[in-house]
Structure 1
Amino acid sequence: MSEPFRTVLLPGRHHVLTRFQADYLHALLAGQVSDTEGEPVAVAQDAVVVWAVTSANHRGTRRNPVPAARREAAIERFALAEGIESLVVGVVDVAPTDRFAELTVKTVAHETGGRRTPTPADTVVACSTAAVTAMYRALGYRVVPVEAGDESDPARPWDVLELLVAGDETWRDLAHPATVSVLDRYGLVDAVRTICTDPVVGSDGGLTATREYRSYIAAFEAAADRKWAQARPWVRPGRIVDVGCATGAMLELAAAEPSLHESDLFGVEVARHLYDECEHRKAQGAFAANPNTFFVHANVLAGPVFPPGTVDTTTTFALTHEILSYGDGVPALERLAAEVARHTAPGGVWVNSDVCGPAGGDRRVRLRLRTDDGDRGAGPVDLATHPDPQAHLDGLSTRARFDQFAVDFRANAGVPFAHDEDGDDVLLSLADAMEFLTKRSYTDNWLSETHERFCALDGDAWARLVTAAGFEVDPRSGPWRNEWLVQNVLAPVAQLLDPGTGEQLDWPDTHILLVARLPESP
């Protein structure tokens, strides 16, 4: 006969602990539970429950809306209230892998200094998820099925969390009082609902699952000096907020300026990957020149981040086209403008630097594209399932790449993108021509970039939008043309022609630097 188990390993994200779990653990520790094979499980009197908190380095995402520190606090209160000897071990988030169980076991051994090393001989696993159960059984562990073994089909922790998100107060009756207490005391109920219903952010805390963040970060940081030089003349000292701060490149430049050393610098970032990098860079001393540099993981469209009238300068760099693309279009930008106006102090400024649609974007043009700079190809393919999308795109001629773009932009951005063909020429609106031309070189992030709209608003539309929010537009700011883009990206592969006369047209404005000032109080 085998020795009673000295360890109960309970893996899970543990955002919510339930009353059922408490009853089940008491029954398990009393030897009243059978494993998945129907065999009774004997547990030693001095057994310890090891709570393996998975995705412990995630927070602020739909998969992980409760920070690991709060999850641990609830577990400790649960253990104390129930008189269950427990240990809590955080397990980092990993991509889906069939070695997940092995990783968890090794993490427990490492984090407990080897004093609690789970083995099939001394550990029983408590798990209700079939796929995870199979992993532990493959390693030789016996598993007790928790909710999956109960005929009454009790609510599982994630079911209770979904009730909370839906505003169904019965979650409080199903959750253990330890969870209810922690979520209430730290104001996490509303925060969890906001995170899990955010229309902009995906389940892993990013704007899109197709974005390759390394190249995105590199491109953003490469342009930081130029963008900061553009914005700097309008920055007003005091509380300076960079919304959509990415990795904090702009705030690092601001922190280094002696004239801004008395200012408080705040970076607001909604994408978890980027927010984590901000905190990492801060720990490395990137912002040491101004110790009053802070980062906030938040979505400004989901609710106020700063009190009314407390921000002297708000900057948004390469952000507004993403809000338009991943939100609900122009109404999302209107909400952003209203929120920035709300938190801006009288006389304060909003500096917005981003791509911009061309004036007269509805004008029909003839687009002539190179056909000799790559393969014409056999037509558009499904890049989502292609083994090497970037290599495929890089091998296409500009004209063939247009055909691929037309399919992907319609599907991903959800816009019509109407055009006609005249031989190799394309007849379409000026705005749609610029949508393609300004994205044609982004082959490393194609599926993400074809989700985004660059040309929905021209300079006049932007001025109307911020004026409606209560700002006044500085007449020295406005749309401009990026000559480097023209010379290196547009002109080498394309011509814009008048569809009637064939006359070559000038390249339109491509970007905007909009400075909007909130009037001083009367």
Structure 2
Amino acid sequence: MPRYLLFPGRHHLLTRFQAAYLHRLATTGHHDDPDGDHAAADGVPTATAGDDPVTVVWAVTSANHENTRRNPVPYHRREAAIERFSVLAGLRSVVVPVFDTAATDRFAEVTLKNVAATAGLELTPADTVVACSTPQVAAMYAALGFPIAGVEADVDPTPARPWDVLLRLAADDPSWRELAHPATIDVYARYRLDDLVRSVVNDPVVGDEGGLTATRDYRTYAEAFADAAQRKWAAVREHVRPGRIVDVGCGAGAVLELADREPTLRESDLIGVEVARHLYEECVHKKAQGFFANPNVFFYRRNVLGGAVFAPRSVDTTLTFALTHEIWSYGEQMASLRRFVQAIYDHTVPGGVWINSDVCGPDGRDRTVRLRLSTTDGANPAQPHPDLASLPAERVAERLAGLSTRARLDQFAVDYRFPFPHRPVDDGTGAVVELPLGAAMDFLTRKDYTDNWLSETQEEFCGLEWADWKALLADVGFEVDPASGPYRNDWIVDHRLAPAAALSTLGGAPLDWPVTHVLLVARRPVNT
């Protein structure tokens, strides 16, 4: 009999099969149960006590991840279910968190070191059996000399694995309850984790690791947002209504830091909502480090498209900065955006306000124009790269930085996720293309984002123009404050657009640069 059973895994859901298997292994030294003597009729093992019971060491991997498709359930809830499971299954257990690591062939050693550091247990092949059904992971422990118990892999036919059962839950297949252990069912019910799992696993927007895209550099993204926070807050401060103030898509919390310093808002609740795990974790870290003086500062990790975040008529001010174009881009465009706007309206108190600052398409975005681009500010390869995503991130930025503005348009046309109708104009220079005005501005407003190119080319900036915004808000029920309207960021024009590009009509008449952004101040009528 071993002294320990090491059971590594994410352990988001526990099964009846696991309970019976581990109980047999811990009490008899083997997993076979031909007579069924070691399990109760309902699949929950009966407890047996020994003088020196075997300890099951649960190495809970990805313990610092939650609310993602791969890791929907937070560690502390997983730990609670494991402890209850252990009581019901008659097991002596120790639960050890193992933080996520980059892919490594030394994963087994990293886990063993975590167990030693956290629980003080030096597990060796002489006293430990590793219970693991994943062949690649089991092979790592076997290479270190540990005997392996294959759990589900030991049985023919193979029983449903925990992740398969969790996916049944997400698909509303009631059979998950027959397979899940009562400890999981109980903890899921008490903390509404079944709803969380359904929401996260079925989310059409958020990726497996909890971000909008796998290629976004969140460090540069957060830095850029922080640099612009003062300007954003100055533009909206006068419209903020005290009370419950929510910043949806709060990034790393830079705007809420400024709101926290406002004496007139000291009695308000300041709430940040962020979907990207990297940014949410930075918000929590800031709060822990004392960045906020107001004790009523809270952060939620939620995707607003996954369902209501706040109760109806419970929020006085909602702030959104550079968010609505992402909802449009990563969701179902107008259908997703309308659901979002309706959710904002529903949670706003009568008389409350939604303040939205974002990019905006030009008026008449579908009309065809001519765009002349510089060919002398970089290289002009014969063909754009067919697959930039196959290159290391630093090589992507390096290649893009070396292209002329005209060559970047050709690369943009390859990488852009949305339709990009354009055609070169045969004027002898190769510098002119004809394309819709909205497409031209979508390229021009992204052409310098070389650090996040593969992320930014997944988004459409010019999907809506000002008339579309007014119609959408009116349809939902908002009243548009006179302070609202589109505007042009002249810094972008002077520093990014004019030095490398020019717009004209098809007849060659110069066109002024159109609007680039919109400020919306939308109020829910008092009598609603």
Q: Same fold (TM over 0.5)?
A: yes
Which residue is equivalent to 1:366? 370
Q: Decide whether the 8 Å contact of 2:23 with 2:90 is kept in 1.
A: no
Q: What SS does the aligned partner of 1:86 have?
A: strand
CA distance in 2, matches of 1:32, 1:228: 64
Q: Decide whether the 8 Å contact of 2:2 with 2:29 is kept in 1.
A: no
| Structure 2 unaligned spans of 5+ | 33-49
CA distance in 2, matches of 1:227, 1:379: 40
Pick one of 310, 315, 323 that aligns with 2:327: 323
Is residue 490 of structure 1 aligned with residue 491 of structure 2?
Answer: no
CA distance in 1, matches of 2:148, 2:31: 9
Q: What SS does the aligned partner of 2:53 have?
A: strand
Deviations 1:324-361 (A, max 9, x none): 01111011111111111111111111110000000111
| TM-score, structure 2 normalization | 0.93
CA distance in 1, matches of 2:340, 2:155: 48
Pick one of 13, 20, 23 that aligns with 1:16: 13
CA distance in 1, matches of 2:150, 2:478: 60
CA distance in 1, matches of 2:227, 2:51: 60
Is residue 504 of structure 1 aligned with residue 510 of structure 2?
Answer: yes
Q: Decide whether the 8 Å contact of 1:323 with 1:333 is kept in 2.
A: yes
Is residue 269 of structure 1 aligned with residue 269 of structure 2?
Answer: no
- What is the aligned residue count? 504
* Distance apart, 1:290 and its partner CA: 1.3
Q: Decide whether the 8 Å contact of 2:355 with 2:522 is kept in 1.
A: yes
Q: What SS does the aligned partner of 1:384 have?
A: helix
Q: Decide whether the 8 Å contact of 2:377 with 2:404 is kept in 1.
A: yes
Pick one of 434, 437, 440 that aligns with 1:427: 434
Pick one of 323, 339, 344 that aligns with 2:343: 339
* Distance apart, 1:408 and its partner CA: 0.6
Q: Decide whether the 8 Å contact of 1:29 with 1:44 is kept in 2.
A: no
* Distance apart, 1:186 and its partner CA: 1.0
Deviations 1:299-331 (A, max 9, x none): 222211111112111110000010001111011
CA distance in 2, matches of 1:237, 1:499: 50
Which residue is equivalent to 1:27? 24
CA distance in 1, matches of 2:383, 2:262: 52
Pick one of 187, 199, 207 that aligns with 1:194: 199
Using the TM superposition, name which of 272-281 and 317-326 deviates more.
272-281
Which residue is equivalent to 2:100? 93
Deviations 1:251-286 (A, max 9, x none): 110011001101111111112221111111110111
| Aligned 1:215-254 pairs, distance under 5 A | 215-254=220-259
CA distance in 1, matches of 2:476, 2:276: 26
Q: What SS does the aligned partner of 2:388 have?
A: coil
Which residue is equivalent to 2:47? none
Q: What SS does the aligned partner of 1:46 have?
A: coil
Q: Decide whether the 8 Å contact of 1:7 with 1:48 is kept in 2.
A: yes
* 1:483 to 1:111, Cα distance in 2 relative to 1, 3 A: same
Deviations 1:375-404 (A, max 9, x none): 102311110112311101011111111100
* Distance apart, 1:135 and its partner CA: 1.1
* Distance apart, 1:503 and its partner CA: 2.1
CA distance in 1, matches of 2:236, 2:480: 14
* Distance apart, 1:32 and its partner CA: 4.8
Which residue is equivalent to 1:286? 291
| Aligned 1:392-471 pairs, distance under 5 A | 392-409=399-416, 413=417, 415-422=418-425, 423-471=430-478
* Distance apart, 1:69 and its partner CA: 0.8
Q: Decide whether the 8 Å contact of 1:6 with 1:44 is kept in 2.
A: no
Deviations 1:193-216 (A, max 9, x none): 011101111111111111111111
* Distance apart, 1:173 and its partner CA: 1.1
Pick one of 163, 174, 179 that aligns with 1:174: 179
CA distance in 2, matches of 1:264, 1:506: 44
* 1:32 to 1:8, Cα distance in 2 relative to 1, 3 A: closer
* Distance apart, 1:33 and its partner CA: 2.4
CA distance in 2, matches of 1:354, 1:405: 22
| Aligned 1:38-187 pairs, distance under 5 A | 45-112=52-119, 114=120, 116-187=121-192
Q: What SS does the aligned partner of 1:30 have?
A: helix
CA distance in 2, matches of 1:401, 1:103: 44
Is residue 6 of structure 1 aligned with residue 11 of structure 2?
Answer: no
Q: What SS does the aligned partner of 2:283 have?
A: helix
* 1:102 to 1:348, Cα distance in 2 relative to 1, 3 A: same
CA distance in 1, matches of 2:76, 2:451: 36
* 1:47 to 1:32, Cα distance in 2 relative to 1, 3 A: closer
**RMSD between superposed Cα atoms in Å:** 1.4
Which amino acid is the alignment partner of residue 465 of structure 1?
L
Which residue is equivalent to 2:44? none
Q: What SS does the aligned partner of 1:373 have?
A: coil
* Distance apart, 1:45 and its partner CA: 4.4
Which amino acid is the alignment partner of residue 215 of structure 1?
T
Q: Decide whether the 8 Å contact of 2:27 with 2:54 is kept in 1.
A: no
* Distance apart, 1:5 and its partner CA: 2.0
Report % sequence identity: 61
Deviations 1:135-165 (A, max 9, x none): 1112221111111011121111111111111
Pick one of 306, 313, 322 that aligns with 1:309: 313
* Distance apart, 1:498 and its partner CA: 1.6
Is residue 295 of structure 1 aligned with residue 302 of structure 2?
Answer: no
CA distance in 2, matches of 1:141, 1:44: 24
Q: What SS does the aligned partner of 1:205 have?
A: coil
| TM-score, structure 1 normalization | 0.94
Deviations 1:51-83 (A, max 9, x none): 001111111111111111111111111111121
CA distance in 1, matches of 2:63, 2:159: 26
CA distance in 2, matches of 1:198, 1:275: 18
Which residue is equivalent to 1:479? 486
CA distance in 2, matches of 1:159, 1:362: 47
Which residue is equivalent to 1:40? none
Q: What SS does the aligned partner of 1:360 have?
A: coil
Deviations 1:86-107 (A, max 9, x none): 1000000122221111111000
Deviations 1:17-36 (A, max 9, x none): 1111111112212345279x
Q: Decide whether the 8 Å contact of 2:26 with 2:53 is kept in 1.
A: no
Q: Decide whether the 8 Å contact of 1:309 with 1:345 is kept in 2.
A: yes
Which residue is equivalent to 1:38? none
Q: What SS does the aligned partner of 2:442 have?
A: helix
Which amino acid is the alignment partner of residue 375 of structure 2?
T
